[in-house]
Structure 1
Amino acid sequence: MAERAKVVVVGGGPGGYEAALVAAQLGADVTVVDADGLGGAAVLTDVVPSKTLIATAEVMTLVGESAELGVRFPGSAGGERDAHGAVAVDLGVVNRRVKALAQAQSDDIHRRLESEGVRIVRGRGRLDGPHRVVVDGVDGTPGTTAFDAEAVLVAVGAHPRELPDARPDGERILTWKQLYDLDHLPERLVVVGSGVTGAEFASAYDALGADVVLVSSRDRVLPGEDPDAAEVIEAVFRRRGMEVLSRSRAQAVKRTGDGVVVTLADGRTVEGSHCLVAVGSIPNTGGMGLGGAGVTLSDSGHVQVDRVSRTTSRGVYAAGDCTGVLALASVAAMQGRIAMWHSLGDAVAPLDLRTVSANVFTAPEIATVGWNAAQIEAGEVRARTVKLPLATNARAKMQGIHDGFVKLFCGARSQEILGGVVVAPRASELIFPVTLAVEHRLTVDDVAQAFTVYPSLSGSIAEAARRLHASD
């Protein structure tokens, strides 16, 4: 019997555990080295916890905007914002649920890996050359062990970036990993950073009932998103009472007893009870011996990989946030799978970021896939665009949805759907038909001629496609 190929995966996040499952399926001897808990940050401190918190915020948003649907609460006078005073959130209960669900998901991953015959080693892994992983014990786990492997996957993730003069204390100055230890809703939360993480938490805590100030160093919130979509979200934030400080760079955050003071670069100050610092992340690649193993890192510390997850060292692959390719759990998982398919000789297609759908979990959500408006305006591709406001959709009217739109891009000559943007409640679900269209190179007529339910929000996708039909 041929000897089984040995694979060692360093890191148990989506890139790591999905790679381990593929390698086990292909008959390899698989070891996963993990220091922080299976599922990684995505499951334990980032994606799963934040979206669980946002699930509660979604309910509060629905309640808060239910007056026009005829919903009244006991003792209310029938005003538009009665619900905000009639319903409250117990943040301690919410956060206990958040952490319990995250741990349950991590436990499920652990059981799945064990059931597939994957060896799980608790410890911190580092490379001793390209084909050897040394594991140092953590949390009192004694000793050091080593594993030889034909293929090594580095999937160690990233951690929150800190500002030099805004050191988190876990009580008043917080990273997104520390928010779930709060027992009470912040009276006034200052969010520094208006990227995806900052915008999502600002939206959520505003819905939960906190007074929120969003500090943005850019001209608008969500500078990396579709400009029309970001404009909608910022308008909604302001309408709901959030204070948005544009072109305002945070210089320092200091604790003042029971509160914080955020000092801006122009000398202004913003006071609050708590501050969330959401200014990006740093890859966890330090001290791993990657350079000695022949693995090239970028200036930012990210592992450089190609489209099949190979590093510059033969037999060493990398996946996830430590590569800086695209910080999404779905991309990390695909990078990990591709690495194993490639290293173990299975059929593989290189990673294609053009077909990746992404979502910003604000209220409303922003979902995107394919080519975007900036690329089209820059002339990278010739395309036609249509934007259809949801306010004209019958189902949206019934549900009291006033904000949002469907935007589609199609090839100027091919008529193929090249990309799209959906801004709506649960846009993360509505983007799927557009993703299918992009993935399978469907034309606007393919989409336009498919039946949709009436009334439905998805009907606006077919309607947008019909408006892109060209007689020539």
Structure 2
Amino acid sequence: MTSFDVDLFVIGGGSGGVRAARIAGGYGARVMLAEEFRLGGTCVIRGCVPKKLLVYASRFADEFADAKGFGWTVPAPIFDWPTLIANKDKEIDRLERAYGTTLANANVEVIRQRAVVDGPHTVRLADGRRVTAAHILVATGGWPQLPADISGIEHAITSNEAFYLDALPKRVVINGGGYIAVEFAGIFHGLGSEVTIVYRGDGILRGFDDDLRAGLVEAYSRRGIRILTRTRITGIVRGASGLEVALSDGSILPCDKAMFATGRIPHTGNLGLETAGVELDGRGAVKVDAFSRSSIPSIYAVGDVTDRVNLTPVAIREGHAFADTVFGKHPVAMDHRLIPSAVFSTPELGTVGLTETQAAAAYPVIDVYKTSFRTMKATLSGSAERMMMKLLVDGVSDRVVGAHILGPDAGEMAQLLGVLLKAGATKRDFDQTCALHPSAAEELVTMRKPTARLMRS
């Protein structure tokens, strides 16, 4: 590898690229990383980290409302959007600096400019320089997609811009039914906006367990978030008092911001991959094998740019596995099964494993355990929200193959459930575990009788 300028050139300074660069550097590789915007990528700069901070902010409205039932007298709260955004930006700046320090400590040279692939072993920088590398890793992530066939789409924003609005919009229309749309609906509503979700499908959060989907729709409707399904946005017009969003049913929604959360596409445009011979799929994702190697043996790709499982922890694990495989001489294939995930709506969803529909199709017999209840906190606060928990069990082996939660701290519980499912825990293991009382999580080990038994025909 000494005939090349570096052993590894990483394009993209997000979670996957940074992890790969750091681990490769730890193995003694000469590593260079190029990032044209800011270190941290989508997750840190304009994704899961700032989103979670805004989710926290939006939930204080519930805390203020609940406090009265516990004896607190709270003056009418006043929310200030610019303060939240300024404090969020300070935290993002701190995290970006931390990423830079991490790379420096691993002896990774960071290039603050755009880089494109210029051949199997060559990268071209924006300033015209060319760098040769024994291996190239593409970790450029994904990018929000805006439909081109909607009149006035230039008036819309995506999640990228939502983090940097000058003011909190009074009325927001969000187009989409995935987790980004659902999470921002909860954020804006919790902070005081009037929110409408417009989705062309039959129901939001397609791919999640149907009971959780229905439970969240009920909770959002009770909160006052309007959800319009089987409906499309056909046009956007800017008027004197804001925007007017035209719908496929002929109605008009006046709003201050129209946000599109209709999916993200792999960020591979004009990256030189096709010219270098790298095979892409129909969505522009880099096709890779189990070890993240592309159709060109010296070029690899990890994270959302491969469109496998588009989650930050997955990109990190893929980046780590790549470095172990190529520079640690310890081949590691990322296991994409049983990955815990969460939707940070309010109430939030936590899930790992198969949905009921998937489990019923995969196993001859599935036992469904399900419970719904008001949390202990809700008894004094007067809140009408309920918590739902669901376990799906293989009726033959007794192994738990799916776990789904709707309610407070669902994501935290899903992380721990992920360990259990990965270890192959059975329903008997759950039953033999002593409950922690009083807690919501104890319901996971106290459900004794299945609510349904599904037999595959």
Task: For 1:116, give the aligned amino acid.
Answer: A
C-alpha deviations, 1:1-48, integer Å up to 9, x for none? 999970111101111001111111222111111111111111111111
TM, length-normalised to structure 1:
0.89
* Partner in structure 1 of residue 420 of structure 2: 437
User: How many angstroms apart in 1 are the aligned matches of 2:286 and 2:152?
Assistant: 26
CA distance in 2, matches of 1:394, 1:96: 35
Report the CA distance between 1:316 and its aligned residue.
1.2
CA contact (8 A) 1:390 1:460 kept: no
- Contact 1:315 1:343 (8 Å CA) reproduced: no
The superposition leaves residues 316-342 of structure 1 with CA deviations (integer Å, 9 ceiling, x where unpaired) of: 111111111122111111111112222
Verify: 1:356 aligned to 2:346, yes or no: no
User: d(CA) in 2 for partners of 1:350 and 1:242?
Assistant: 42
CA contact (8 A) 1:130 1:315 kept: yes
Task: Tell me if 1:447 matches 2:448.
Answer: no
Q: 2:361 aligns with which of 378, 381, 399?
A: 378
Instruction: Quote the residue 1:173 is aligned against.
Output: 156
Identify the residue that residue 455 of structure 2 maps to in structure 1: none
Q: 3-state SS of the aligned residue for 2:159?
A: coil
d(CA) in 2 for partners of 1:46, 1:336: 19
Q: Which residue of 1 aligns with 2:118?
A: 128
TM-score (norm 2): 0.92
What amino acid sits opposite 1:278 in the alignment? A
User: CA–CA distance in 1 between the matches of 2:384 and 2:104?
Assistant: 46
1:129-185, Cα deviation, whole Å (9 max, x unpaired): 11111111xxxxxx222222222110111211112236665xx63211112222322
Structure 2 partner of 1:81: none
More deviation, 232-241/218-227 = 218-227
Is 2:71 the counterpart of 1:33? no
Aligned position for 2:45? 44
Structure 2 stretches of 5 or more lacking a match?
Answer: 452-457
Partner of 1:202: 185
Per-residue deviation, 1:348 = 3.9
Structure 1 residue 396 displacement after superposition: 6.4
Q: 1: CA distance between counterparts of 2:214 and 2:67?
A: 24
Q: Within the alignment, does 1:308 sit opposite 2:291 as a pair? A: yes
Q: Report the equivalent of 1:366.
A: 349
Segments of structure 1 that go 5 or more residues without pairing to the other structure are: 75-85, 137-142
Give the distance between the partners of 2:162 and 2:434, measured in 1 at CA.
44
Q: Which piece of structure 1 moves more, 332-341 or 354-363?
A: 332-341
Which residue identity does 1:131 align to in structure 2?
H
Match of 2:138 in 1: 154
State which of 219, 224, 228 in structure 2 corresponds to 1:236: 219
Cα distance change of structure 1 residues 374 and 348 upon mapping to structure 2, 3 Å threshold: farther
| Whole-angstrom distance in 2 between the partners of 1:161 and 1:99 | 24
1:335 counterpart residue number:
318
- In the other structure, the counterpart of 1:282 is 265
Cα distance, 1:359 vs. partner? 0.6
Mapping 1:35-434, distance limit 5 Å: 35-74=36-75, 86-136=76-126, 143-164=127-148, 165=150, 173-379=156-362, 382-391=365-374, 394=376, 397=379, 402-434=385-417
Is the 8 Å Cα contact of residues 144 and 158 (structure 2) preserved in structure 1?
A: yes
**1:48 maps to amino acid:** V
Deviation at 1:95, TM superposition (A): 1.1
Whichever residue aligns with residue 55 of structure 1, its letter is Y
Q: Please list the CA deviations of residues 369-400 of structure 1 after superposition, one character each: whole Å capped at 9, or x if unmatched.
A: 11222212334674322112243x65665675
Assess, with a 3 A threshold, how the Cα gap between structure 1 residues 43 and 265 changes in structure 2: closer, same or farther.
Answer: same
- After superposition, give the CA deviation of every residue in 1:49-98 in whole Å (9 maximum; x if it has no partner): 11111110122222234444444434xxxxxxxxxxx2231111111122
Residues 461, 396 of structure 1: alpha-carbon distance in 2 compared, 3 angstrom cutoff: farther
Q: CA deviation at 1:446?
A: 2.0
Q: Aligned equivalents of 1:235 and 1:254: distance in 2?
A: 31
Backbone CA RMSD of aligned residues? 2.3
Distance in 1 separating the partners of 2:67 and 2:202: 32
Q: 1:197 to 1:402 in 2, by over 3 A?
A: same
Equivalent pairs, count? 448
Structure 2: which amino acid aligns with 1:163? Answer: P
